[in-house]
Amino acid sequence: MSFSVTAPSPRTKLISGLIVGLYALVTLAPLLWIIATGFKSGQDSIHYPPKVLFEPTMEGYVNLFTTRTRIPSDQPPKDTTSMTWYEEIVYKKGEIIAEPSKYGERFLNSTVIGFGSTALCMFLGTIAAYAFSRFKVPLKDDLLFFILSTRMMPPIAVAIPIFLMFKNLGLNDTYFGMIMLYTAVNLSLSVWLLKGFMDEIPVEYEEAALIDGYTRFEAFIKVVLPQAITGIASTAIFCLIFAWNEYAFAVLLTSGDAQTAPPFIPTIIGVSGKDWPAVAAGATLFLVPVMVFTVLLRKHLLRGITFGAIRK
Amino acid sequence: MAEIEIKNLRKEFDEFVAVENSTFKVEDGEFFMLLGPSGCGKTTTLRMMAGLELPTSGQVLINGEDVSFKRARDRDIAFVFQMYALYPHLNVRQNLEYPLRSQGNPASLIHEKVAEVSKILKISHLLSSPVGRLSGGDRQRVALGRAIVRDPSAFFMDEPLGALDAEFREEMAEELRALHDRMGATTIYVTHDQLEAMQMGDKIVVMNHGVIEQFGAPQEIYDWPATKFVADFIGFPAMNFLPLGHHKVSVGNTFVAYKDYQIDVPACLEEFDGSLDVGVRPEHIRLSREPGGIPATVVASEYLGTTQIVSVEIDQAILKSRVSSTEEYSVGSSINLIFDYRSISLFDHSSGRALQSEGNREVLACG
């Protein structure tokens, strides 16, 4: 790493500030717009010109989690004071809640499949990377190239064979099938990334542990894993982001029990066509887990825990 | 307590032979040096003895038991690495506790042991610091502590002082030797520094290109090198070689001829007919202004306090002589060289082997 020796001039600071600000605007504006839309009413969301200032409402979130029917016109008016706040919102629009929507289930599916495949991928990736890094594996270079080669085309290019395979094996619309699929797609990346991190860990640590009375497996668990935690964390973030956001396979292979949130969100339809506030609310909530996960693991990304322990 | 023996130990990495069939024995309680230039196979030999590398063939015996293919953890040894290899995610105390925990010792014993060891090594005040913040010398102390805390039967050290600054190295070398004398455990120590080996070792094995060149006490190796490599590698400045060209010696000869001059040597014990070199240590060449001896020209002199190294030229060969600083030898002046005949070795020029003589008979017999 190199640092500039002189302090930056005010002009440099201004220019770099502008560049960063512009970049932040470009990346954050769509995100903020989605979050804002989630709190708009149906009319405000499609208002032209678009409204930046509006009266916030929970309508979108209520619609996201419910399916509703119109109140028949012959029904006598009800007393709104005995209603919960969300029933009241719906009632004011001339609807009543029929049942909870599928969003909760789909969100849970995404969580199980996303985190499940990430965990499996980390488990397999870590042990494979350790083996490639430390042991004499026959045809090591060829195997590594082969593993990487599975990433040389977009995974969706093999959608049709995978669809047929899933159909014949009965894996369509199952947790197991989706976890296996996302693990398979992510594994090459995680083996390569983790091998890089493992190579960085000096082999002397394990040798010291082996002599100090531990088995190879104990040395791996107690000495190598704590060193590799930075690499595992960053690789896990990559894997989770892919599995969480994946849309094309999810549309193709899931429709009911194991459907994830990405294919579900666009299907949220209100009484008068697309219910944009509900879609935006679904997208907003969908962002939260990955954001939390990334923020939690961020310190591992930044911390070099092996610093200074071995003199090079 | 351990007596360690290796028999015909050999290691190949694919095509490359790292260690040729090597055999030697380390007596119980010895401070044993494996000395040689980098890439000579000394570290590989040590790693095979420790169980970090499997031999291609041959045996490692600890107390008479064949452990060649036993796991490192079953050999009851401790290893000190050049780069310390302290566990970076643990602090000093946890590092010291680590080997004890693997044996499932009770907490009270672990605590006691760690306190004792840290007192011996004067690192008690560092117990709760993370290892990343320690100085090189302290890290090496912690690494030593981790080794001795378990009371192993033998210590294996791979250039433990190699990464230290010169001033620390001196200090740690003394501490190490003192620690060894106090504990009395067999220590096998790898180094490329011949001074370190001479200073600390009870016995030295000199290796080159995977082959053991010589095995013996420091003084024996210094005085009577078995090969030109050993003669050259040990001692500073190295041993001088004066090529005699084609020469014939027979049993009982007490001199060799250099041109018209005669060089006295210890009585020869073998027949030899071939290209011959005379080897003589710098301190065994006397410079004389009186007639007699072999004439040479002074080309340089280095002042080293009480002694000086005077380089002289004789027929394109440069010889170095260590003499007292009281005399002054001006560059370009003529001088006569007188060799101390008791300490001269003769070497076969082509193979580098030392010829047997009255002087080195006993030393070479055990190597």
- In single-letter form, the type of residue at position A85 comes to W
B172 and B35 in a single domain? The answer is: yes
For residue A75, the model assigns a pLDDT of 76
Q: What structural domains and CATH numbers belong to chain A?
A: 57-101 (no CATH), 104-267 (1.10.3720.10)
B215 and B243 in a single domain? The answer is: no
A204 in reach of chain B (CB within 8 A): yes
B185 and B324 in a single domain? The answer is: no
B149 in reach of chain A (CB within 8 A): no
Pairing of strands B186-191, B154-158: parallel
Contacts of B89 in chain A (CB under 8 A): 226-227, 305
DSSP-assigned beta bridge partners for residue B155: B78, B187
Is residue B244 included in any domain, yes or no? yes
B198 and B290 in a single domain? The answer is: no
B200 and B300 in a single domain? The answer is: no
- A202, A211, A308: residue with CB nearest B72: A211
User: Is the pLDDT reported for residue A312 higher than 70?
Assistant: no
B31 and B166 in a single domain? The answer is: yes
B200 and B269 in a single domain? The answer is: no
Q: Which two tokens stand for residue B132?
A: 């990343």
Q: Which of B316, B315, B317, B311 is nearest to B331 (CA)?
A: B311
C-alpha–C-alpha distance, residues A222 and A219, integer Å: 5
B209 and B246 in a single domain? The answer is: no
User: Is the pLDDT reported for residue B339 higher than 70?
Assistant: yes
**So what's the ipTM on this one?**
0.81
Cα torsion angle, B107, B111, B114, B116, sign: negative
How many structural domains does chain B have? 2
Which residues are CB-neighbours of A191 under 8 A, at least 6 positions away? A125, A128, A129, A132, A144, A147
Q: How confident is the model at residue A105 (pLDDT cuts 50, 70, 90)?
A: very high
Predicted TM-score of the model (pTM) = 0.80
Instruction: State which H helix or E strand residue B208 sits in.
Output: strand B203-208
pLDDT digits (tens, 9 = 90+) for A23-62: 999 999 999 999 999 999 888 888 889 888 889 999 899 9
pLDDT digits (tens, 9 = 90+) for B1-38: 789 999 999 999 988 999 999 999 999 999 999 999 99
Q: Which of B226, B218, B219, B270 is nearest to B249 (CA)?
A: B270
For residue B208, the model assigns a pLDDT of 94
Q: Distance between alpha carbon A284 and the CA centroid of its chain, in Å? A: 12
For residue B313, the model assigns a pLDDT of 93
Residue numbers of the domain that contains B185: 4-223
Is residue B232 included in any domain, yes or no? no
B33 and B67 in a single domain? The answer is: yes
pLDDT mean across residues, chain B: 91
For residue A304, the model assigns a pLDDT of 44
For residue B23, the model assigns a pLDDT of 92
Is the distance from CB of B276 to CB of B348 less than 8 angstroms?
yes
Pairwise pLDDT comparison (A81 vs B99), residue with the higher score: B99
C-alpha–C-alpha distance, residues A62 and A90, integer Å: 8
CB contact under 8 Å between B51 and A223, yes or no, is: no
B86 and B195 in a single domain? The answer is: yes
pLDDT digits (tens, 9 = 90+) for A60-102: 999 899 888 888 877 777 777 788 888 888 888 888 888 898 9
Q: Which of B148, B146, B89, B86 is nearest to A222 (CA)?
A: B89
Mutation site, B75, B86, B138, interface A, largest A CB count within 10 A: B86
B219 and B278 in a single domain? The answer is: no
Is residue B231 included in any domain, yes or no? no
C-alpha–C-alpha distance, residues A309 and A202, integer Å: 10
